[in-house]
Amino acid sequence: MGTIRIIGVPLDLGASRRGVDMGPSTLRIAQLADRLRGLGHEVEDVGNLRVPDRASLPPVESPLGFLSTITDVCRDLADACALAVREGSAPLVLGGDHSLGAGSVAGVATAFAEAGRRIGLLWLDAHGDLNTPMSTLSGNVHGMPVAHLLGHGDPGMARIARPAPAVRPENVVLVGIRDLDPAEREHARRFGIRVFTMREIDERGLRAVMDDALALAGQGTDGLHVSLDMDWIDPDEAPGVGTPVRGGATYREAHLAMEMLADAGRMVSMDVVEINPVLDLYNRTAELAVGLVGSAFGLRIL
């Protein structure tokens, strides 16, 4: 892997609860770049994408009213991620809410497609993010990126990748899911993706689940994009998230997943999203995230 290119996306338009726009700053304060350089990586931090401030936009009834603005941000992010890949760098995207995944994954997929290659997607999250504007109960756009990456939902957001859709359903794997809307359950079946719930992790263990997830996402692909929502981890360990759900991955399970990613050597890009410092304790969640990114990029105990 060449240079790691850090791209901040202070986006909170896709969520009802404010605060995740400060996520990129908390990760930088927790010395993310220094941690990666200490592992021997070259790191380039290109700063934050320009994201309109919520207060500067006309008021809306729900985040769905910001969909066109979010799509514009995702297009800009896709361009930035595609450029990074073309230049031999690995995009490391700091969020911000998870709606940005519709842009980061699309950009990496676009650059790979230009070279006749394709990517798999590993989505680590408490939620499925499989809603569309027609199915959503909350109006929260951060609950929609996976559906759009598969080509469903709003045409503008679903067609950011060139060609679209960004990923094939057989190479999309969700891990650690424990909170799905009824429509998302139906979409998971209809879209044809593999969803590993927390029950499967409880029954089979994280290692077995990750082995299967890596095999599915990697079959016939040339690299993996990993999208890590910090609410994937139990809120006892990661309290600073906007939509916490009890019963998530433990501290060691989360590190094991990242260590297995590093061992596999297939990861080409990564998101770290949904850190809300307003709800955090002493920047605990951001510091945990920095440790997990370190494990994903090669940090070892021995």
pLDDT in tens, 91-149: 999 999 999 999 999 999 999 999 999 999 999 999 999 999 999 999 999 999 999 99
125 is catalytic: yes
The overall pTM is greater than 0.85: yes
Q: Using only C-alpha atoms, what is the Rg of the chain? A: 17
Report pLDDT digits (tens) over 164-216.
Answer: 999 999 999 999 999 999 999 999 999 999 999 999 999 999 999 999 999 99
Establish whether 152 is a catalytic residue: no
Q: Which whole-number Å values give the CA distances from 172 to 69, 73, 130, 208, 224, in the listed order? A: 26, 23, 12, 17, 10
* Domains along the sequence of the chain with CATH: 4-296 (3.40.800.10)
pLDDT digits (tens, 9 = 90+) for 214-272: 999 999 999 999 999 999 999 999 999 999 999 999 999 999 999 999 999 999 999 99
Residue 250, token pair as written in the block: 């433990």
179 as an active site residue: the answer is no
> What DSSP line would sit under 100-159, residue for residue?
GHHHHHHHHHHHHHHTT---EEEEE-SB-----TTT-SS--GGG-HHHHHTT-S-HHHHT
- Determine whether 76 is an active site residue: no
Among the listed residues 206, 220, 209, 142, the one whose alpha carbon sits nearest the alpha carbon of residue 173: 209
Active site residue 274: yes
Report the pLDDT value the prediction gives residue 1, as an integer from 0 to 100: 59
Set 98, 152, 187, 255: catalytic member: 98
